[in-house]
């Protein structure tokens, strides 16, 4: 089955659960397990939270979410137009956080990597960040 959806929302923390719910509703069209669905929800939550907390530093902004189903895979692309990431490799290190005072665990990218099959991060300073994640269903 091929399908896609696009969602654009303001970068507000109350929208984190909204994005999880929408992506879940889209993903259940594939025949996926409870664990696979939970993995997708968690990874999406991490990416959206990163955009709100880091991309926009809790200020105003827009987050775009695109989901696609291709060949038994779900691909999720989360885009923000915030500050961007200076050093992606450092940002992706487990336990690294640029905001230790906020009790951020520094596990966001590690969770995305562990729960999804593929993770790609591209970012430009002053322009924003795109996180693309893929998960094979039933694989």
Partner 1 sequence: MDIKLELIGTTLVVKIDGEIDHHTAAMLKSEIDRELNVHNVTNLVLDFDRVTFMDSSGIGVIAGRYKEITARGGKVMLIRVKPQVDKILEISGLKTIMECSH
Nearer to partner 1 by Cβ, of 82 and 108: the residue is 108
The stretch near partner 1 (CB under 8 A) out of 59-67, 75-83, 108-116, 128-136 is 108-116
The DSSP call for residue 102 is G
User: Please, is 46 exposed, middle or buried when counting C-beta atoms within 10 Å of its C-beta (0-12, 13-18, 19+)?
Assistant: buried
The stretch near partner 1 (CB under 8 A) out of 38-46, 69-77, 78-86, 126-134 is 38-46
Cα–Cα nearest to 111, from 50, 65, 52, 42:
42
- Quick check: 57 binds partner 1 (CB under 8 A)? no
Radius of gyration of the chain (CA): 14
50 is catalytic: yes
The stretch near partner 1 (CB under 8 A) out of 14-22, 61-69, 70-78, 117-125 is 14-22
Nearer to partner 1 by Cβ, of 45 and 129: the residue is 45
Nearer to partner 1 by Cβ, of 2 and 101: the residue is 101
DSSP of 2-33: -EEEEEEEES-TTHHHHHHHHHHHHHTTS---
101 is catalytic: no
List the catalytic residues: 46, 50, 104
């Amino acid at each position: 089955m091929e399908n896609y959806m696009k969602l654009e929302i303001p970068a507000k923390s109350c929208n984190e659960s909204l994005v999880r719910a929408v992506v879940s509703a889209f993903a259940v069209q594939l025949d996926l397990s409870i664990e696979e669905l939970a993995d997708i929800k968690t990874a999406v939550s991490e990416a959206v939270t990163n955009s709100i907390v880091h991309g926009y530093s809790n200020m105003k902004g827009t987050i775009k979410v695109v989901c696609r189903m291709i060949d038994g895979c779900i691909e999720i692309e989360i885009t923000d137009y915030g500050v961007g990431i200076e050093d992606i490799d450092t940002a992706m290190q487990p336990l690294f956080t640029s905001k230790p005072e906020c009790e951020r665990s520094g596990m966001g990218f590690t969770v995305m990597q562990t729960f999804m099959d593929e993770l790609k991060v591209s970012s430009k300073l002053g322009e924003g960040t795109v996180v693309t994640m893929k998960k094979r269903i039933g694989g």
